[in-house]
Amino acid sequence: MVEITSRARQWGRSVGIVIPKDTAEKANIKTGDNVRLLIMGKNNPLKETFGILKLKRPTEEILGKIDKEGWDE
């Protein structure tokens, strides 16, 4: 398995991925071969894993309460 990062490009009405020649040779990929791609996208993996935290109170209110209570009790 060979891992590369490639930029998606406009190719007619489609989007294409270019595999550099040296990488294609290393992976023994020839014109007409079928290849399997793992598409990661550009989403934030932390958001996908943990979701988006939705607070019931504004952050300023929470921080203000922490300041009043103090950490050294």
Q: Is the pLDDT of residue 14 over 90?
A: yes
The whole-model pTM stands at 0.49
What local confidence, expressed as pLDDT, does residue 58 receive? 79
Residue range 26-67, pLDDT digits in tens: 999 999 999 988 887 777 767 766 766 676 777 788 778 777
pLDDT at 71: 61
d(CA 31, CA 24): 10
Contact by Cβ (8 Å): 37, 6: no
**Stretch 2-18: mean pLDDT, rounded?**
89
